[in-house]
Structure 1
């Protein structure tokens, strides 16, 4: 099955609960044949038959389809996981795809949630779950390999050191008499950041 399934019939499975209940009542109480009720209410025959059996087993069950039965995490848990990943990334400790899938598996097992048996064999969430999660949170998360950041570089980026840099830059402007039009942005590739002392 493709990663993003597109329905051939977008209206399939979208029968309102009231219409489905009327059709089921017509068959159960009035003795109307399933084929005739399905045609009259515009419901697929198999769907109506399934709902009649469902109503016989569980009379008070709603007639609307339950798309939440296959979910692993609740909205709150997924939001918490997304916030956690974002916070780690901001702390220069972004997780790889593999690590993130392992984290999801650990979260599911720690909370005693129901998940596919394949997760236990791989000790990680599946690729399908991962891609679905990233689609749901594409506004705040992106799939990228985390970049290694040295501790010195991470700690040096603060108000004091950046202020010192711009104070030195301002003094060079005044000493050399240059303007912004004489400053050029260069590609750092091949330029060493650690200069040899001569």
Structure 2
């Protein structure tokens, strides 16, 4: 029982380099399984499985994995999501949490990536969201202030310049005709309301 507890505590704590080195030493018969396991702090069962798979000609992953589940998106696709969230935030169109979860689901479906998202709701789950945010600390979930506060602190030259820069980009890209441009004032649109939390890029001010 004591040995099993010690091995359980080591599970997933090893790194990719140590595992590759240990496997190479065992395959070249420079070390036994037990010796390599002790020296590189890798569970003997894990080392045995990797060596056996390689001897059988199977493909092996050397990345530590806790449990039977793995991340849905590769680092490249996660970076794509991060950049998209930042881009929308910079355009003053930050995503709500619900919108982000639906976006993640749609991306997985479009790319035919195996996932464990909720197909009935067509959205990723909360565990995916919080794990994703933890892996990308440059993003944060915030509740925006009401419009009255934004008027006091947000209506300034940099913000107005950013608005017109984005407007100019969109006009150049889509070439909107005058009949497709509308003006909307606050007569029928409430400016002070309860907001949902948004996924935004963190701003670091020196």
With structure 2 as the length reference, what TM-score do the two structures score? 0.53
Distance verdict in 2 for CA 1:96–1:145, change over 3 Å: farther
Trace 1:63-142 onto structure 2 (pairs within 5 A): 65-67=62-64, 70-116=70-116, 118-139=117-138, 141-142=139-140
In structure 2, how many angstroms separate the alpha carbons of the residues matched to 1:67 and 1:18? Answer: 14
Pick the structure with more strand per residue. Answer: 2
- The CA deviation at 1:113 is 1.6
Matched residues in 2 for 1:93 and 1:18: separation? 48
Name which of 35, 43, 50 aligns with 1:40. Answer: 35
Which residues of structure 1 form unaligned runs of 5+? 1-6, 31-35, 163-198
CA contact (8 A) 2:72 2:113 kept: yes
Kindly indicate whether the alpha-carbon contact (under 8 Å) linking 1:108 and 1:115 is maintained by their aligned counterparts in 2. yes
For structure 2, the 5+ residue unaligned runs are: 1-7, 161-206
Alpha-carbon offset, residue 96 of structure 1: 1.8
Partners of 1:148 and 1:93 lie apart in 2 by: 15
CA contact (8 A) 2:85 2:95 kept: yes
Give the RMSD, CA atoms, in angstroms.
3.7
1:180 corresponding residue in structure 2 = none
Quick one: higher RCO (CA 8 Å, sep 6+), 1 or 2?
2
State the aligned residue count. 140
- Compared CA separation, residues 55 and 76, structure 1 to 2 (3 A): closer
CA distance 1:91–1:105, change in 2 (3 Å):
same
Asked if the contact 1:96–1:145 (Cα under 8 Å) also holds between the matched residues in 2, the reply is: no
Q: Structure 1 100/10 Cα, relative in aligned 2: closer, same or farther at 3 Å?
A: same
